[in-house]
Amino acid sequence: MVAEVLEHLAPERGGVFIDCTVGLGGHARALLEAGASRLIGLDRDPSALERSRDALAAFSAQVELVHADYRELPDLLDARSIGGVDGVLADLGVSSMQLDAPGRGFSFRRDDELDMRMDTSQGRTAAEMLAAADEQTLADVIYTLGEERHARRVARAILTARSQAPITTTGRFADVVRRAIPRKGYSRIDPATRTFQAIRIWVNRELEGLDDFLGRAVGRLNSGGRMAVITFHSLEDRIVKHTFRALQSEGRVTIRTKRPVIPAPAEVESNARARSAKLRAIEKAEGPRPKA
């Protein structure tokens, strides 16, 4: 959704822009080519930063790449004596690079080690968390974060399977989940999809503090500054929608997207993973600029 991001962030205004999830650097490069004066790119994934560094080499004088969680944004700006910024982009969720990279464990399309960490330098892997959690915790995680109505059956199956042998690979984990879910005719998605989503979100704490981050990021926008957020599942989108509405009711922002913007059919045709993307954008209300 590069064109849509450029439309709503308007980098031709110049100024400082933050890409909170820089990934492979595609959005960041587009922002710089369109006129952003300076860009700070954050990512939890060290391998993504290496890839984006190559992609943005032509703009090295204008770019700073930082290994950090986007929720650390206010502290990172303070450390650089940056009071206000002109645009913020957050492209949430797992990236295509992470899904496709061998050894990461985000997808059951191949049999990999069950890792699922976006930041491979810290934290427990999915295998370690599955090994330690009790049945109630697993059921709650799978139901709440995966919206899987058979969550209790899946949780029980995980405990049964791990009592026989540790669940350490994506192939075995997916097989355990599939066997736990009743099959009633054709299903458009693999039965393991919702549980994989839930465990990935749990491992990476993807929803924790998201609403707080949005409010704090708005607090660092200059007057007329803009923020765009791309989500890929209903849980993220619901948080963004309600937080943006609350910020607008407080008079802090104007919502630019009355309805979420979705990818054009041509983009979905060329990239099927884009089909669930939703973009929402806001503009900071006029007022004093944040203090440096």
**Domain boundaries along the sequence of the chain:** 2-93+208-284, 102-204
**CA neighbor of 253 nearest in space, from 211, 282, 227:** 282
Q: Give the CATH superfamily of 2-93+208-284.
A: Vaccinia Virus protein VP39 (3.40.50.150)
With a cut of 90, say whether residue 288 has pLDDT above it.
no
The pLDDT value recorded for residue 289 is: 52
Tens digits of per-residue pLDDT, 100-110? 888 899 999 89
| Burial of 185: CB neighbours in 10 Å, binned 0-12, 13-18, 19+ | exposed
The angle subtended at Cα 69 by Cα 64 and Cα 71, nearest 5°, is 110
Is the predicted pLDDT of residue 138 greater than 70, yes or no? Answer: yes
Q: How many residues are there in the chain?
A: 292
Average pLDDT over residues 213-239: 96
- Among 263, 266, 264, residue whose Cα is nearest residue 232: 263
Which of 160 and 98 is assigned the larger pLDDT? Answer: 160
Give the residue with greater pLDDT, 16 vs 290: 16
* SS3 (DSSP) at 252: coil
Mean pLDDT calculated for residue range 225-238: 96
CA 250, 252, 254, 256 torsion-angle sign: negative
Please tell me which of 93-97, 261-265, 269-273 the model is most confident about, judged by mean pLDDT.
261-265
pLDDT tens, position by position, 183-193 = 876 677 899 99
Q: Residue 99: its pLDDT value, please?
A: 86
102-204 in CATH: which number?
A: 1.10.150.170
The pLDDT mean for the chain works out to 94
**pLDDT (0 to 100) of residue 228:** 98
Helices (H), the chain: 2-9, 26-33, 46-55, 73-79, 96-100, 126-132, 135-146, 151-164, 170-180, 193-204, 210-219, 234-249, 265-270
Residue range 139-170, pLDDT digits in tens? 999 999 999 999 999 999 999 999 999 999 99
pLDDT at 272: 80
In this structure, what token pair is assigned to residue 17?
């822009």
Q: For the chain, what is the radius of gyration of the CA atoms?
A: 20
% of the chain at pLDDT higher than 90: 86
Backbone dihedral region of 103: left (phi > 0), alpha (psi from -120 to 50 degrees) or beta? left
